[in-house]
């Protein structure tokens, strides 16, 4: 039976099952690239009743390709419209809510109802860089639901001593602190227009992930270092389970600039080395054995990533300052199916890359000692993600923010409820690789390095009060 005939035969049943939450289903389909913004707006016209919106959706979905009903199934399942899921795929039913031991409660008196062990379908990344509307629509972080049995079980296991040997404990509310340093206005370098959007996205994301978030704006090199030292010494971290630092600034190979930073004769001035920043927090007694995450949005050189095999000069990328992350107009978020980036083979580039790789390697070779008792390896429990590879520019859209931070916000919001940090960042890298500047199609690829000894899951929505 083809899709149109199936929908025709089940039109009334599907309408009744989807109508109560049709708006959320439509937004899910839009966010995942199944329907366009124009289609979304037509379906959700304000003067339509819930039933009329659902009729419009059903009439539309059968025109969206051979997998259209699979996408609709994923959407209704995500929104817990189990009756609709039973109609669309009765062979996988019954899709009834699973009664599990609630993550807040550990009472053995609660009985589990035998049913399908459903875990969320893996819908994957969009085929192209998401539109501005899709990025802005993806602001709500998906929480682990009771139907996500695998994640519920992983979370419960993490609360046991054996589980904590394999996974970092992320169960408190709040999990810990996120410090965002947002340098927008500079004395010698171009202002970073659009960075405010990154800051907003990060605040929304990490608050939803149960972190306390603090933002510091426009810090000189000295003030930035003083702020970081005070942060590393906070008593707060003694009871916290995790620490996150995000720096939004200009940069150069292995460094980030304060607002007084600049390049003089090709040499950076008024900067902090990424290695020294991570060293500082590795030495914090209150963060021993706890995951420390560092996200650095800053250029790491002046080269433009032409990708392979595409690339020529782009007039939208600032030329006057090698420290500036490239600004690109809103129209320049073009799609690309080839995220592989190439690097130049000049002697200068080779030296830059060699130096930066050595710097990143040193990031996880710091000296630290545990409190009384067992020792831990020096430099353990550190995760560093940098917006671009050594020697290259990173790109910032002046209206919606940088590719790197917006990709983090998009991927984490959609997939943190079921994937660990390493997979999330691999997908971030994949998504950034699909973006490119306007007519000249410059690319960007990120770099991550970690010394984690365990898996790291955010477990959004799950809390153990004990």
Q: Which residues are catalytic?
A: 250, 299
Report CA-CA distances (Å) from 461 to 136, 152, 237, 336, 455.
21, 11, 21, 34, 18
| Cα gap 461→417, rounded to integer Å | 8
Closest CA to 241 of 170, 141, 338, 326: 170
Q: Return the percent helix, strand and coil in the chain, to nearest 5.
A: 40, 15, 50
Measure the CA angle with vertex 150, ends 147 and 156; round to 5°: 100
Place of tokens 């008593």: 235
- Kindly provide the residue ranges of all beta strands, DSSP E only, lying in 283-393, ordered along the sequence: 292-297, 326-328, 382-386
Report CA-CA distances (Å) from 281 to 99, 179, 244, 260.
41, 12, 10, 24
193, 398 Cβ separation under 8 angstroms: yes
DSSP 165-230: HHB----SSS-EEEEEEE----SSS---TTHHHHHHHHHHHHHHTT-EEEEEES--HHHHHHHHHH
DSSP classification of residue 302? S
Q: Which two tokens stand for residue 192?
A: 């970073």
243, 257 Cβ separation under 8 angstroms: no
For residue 424, the SS3 value is helix
> How many CB atoms are closer than 10 A to CB 241?
17
> What are the start-end ranges of the H helices in 326-457?
347-363, 403-415, 421-432
Q: Which two tokens stand for residue 406?
A: 């917006």
| Cα gap 142→460, rounded to integer Å | 7
Q: What are phi and psi of 241, to 5 degrees?
A: -105, -10
Residue 105 backbone class (left: φ over 0; alpha: ψ -120 to 50; beta: rest)? beta
Torsion of CA 17, 20, 26, 27, to 10 degrees: -140
């Amino acid at each position: 039976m083809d899709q149109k005939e199936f929908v025709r035969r089940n039109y009334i049943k599907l309408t009744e099952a989807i109508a109560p939450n049709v708006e959320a289903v439509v937004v899910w389909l839009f966010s995942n690239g199944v329907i366009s913004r124009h289609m979304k707006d037509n379906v959700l016209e304000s003067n339509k009743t819930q039933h009329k919106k659902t009729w419009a959706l059903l009439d539309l979905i059968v025109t969206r390709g051979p997998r259209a009903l699979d996408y609709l199934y994923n959407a209704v399942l995500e929104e817990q419209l189990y009756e609709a899921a039973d109609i669309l795929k009765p062979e996988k039913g019954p899709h009834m809510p699973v009664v599990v031991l609630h993550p807040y409660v550990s009472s053995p008196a609660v009985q589990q109802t035998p049913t399908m062990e459903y875990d969320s379908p893996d819908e994957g990344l969009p085929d192209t860089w998401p539109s501005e509307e899709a990025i802005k629509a993806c602001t709500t972080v998906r929480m682990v639901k009771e139907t996500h049995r695998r994640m519920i079980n992983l979370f419960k296991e993490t609360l046991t001593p054996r589980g904590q040997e394999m996974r970092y404990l992320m169960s408190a509310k709040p999990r810990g602190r996120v410090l965002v340093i947002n340098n927008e206005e500079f004395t010698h370098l171009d202002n970073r227009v659009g960075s405010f959007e990154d800051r907003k996205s990060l605040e929304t994301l990490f608050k939803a992930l149960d972190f306390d978030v603090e933002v510091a704006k426009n810090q000189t090199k000295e003030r930035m270092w003083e702020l970081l030292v005070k942060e590393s010494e906070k008593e707060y971290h003694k009871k916290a389970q995790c620490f996150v630092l995000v720096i939004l600034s200009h940069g150069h190979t292995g460094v980030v600039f304060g607002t007084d930073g600049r390049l003089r004769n090709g040499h950076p001035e008024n900067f902090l080395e990424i290695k020294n920043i991570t060293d500082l927090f590795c030495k914090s007694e209150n963060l021993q054995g706890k995951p420390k995450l560092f996200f650095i949005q800053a250029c790491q050189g002046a080269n433009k990533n032409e990708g392979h095999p595409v690339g020529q000069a782009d007039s939208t990328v600032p030329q006057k300052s090698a420290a500036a992350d490239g600004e690109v107009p809103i129209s320049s978020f073009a799609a690309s199916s080839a995220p592989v980036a190439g690097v130049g083979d000049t002697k200068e580039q080779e030296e830059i890359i060699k130096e930066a790789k050595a710097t990143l390697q040193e990031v996880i070779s710091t000296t630290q000692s545990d409190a009384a008792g067992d020792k831990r390896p020096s430099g353990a429990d550190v995760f560093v993600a940098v917006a671009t590879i050594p020697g290259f520019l990173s790109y910032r859209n002046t209206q919606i923010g940088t590719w790197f931070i917006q990709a983090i916000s998009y991927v984490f919001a959609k997939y943190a409820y079921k994937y660990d940090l390493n997979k999330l960042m691999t997908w971030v890298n994949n998504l950034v690789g699909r973006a490119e500047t306007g007519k000249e199609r410059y690319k960007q690829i990120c770099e991550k390095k970690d010394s984690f000894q365990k898996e790291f899951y955010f477990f959004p929505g799950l809390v153990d009060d004990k």
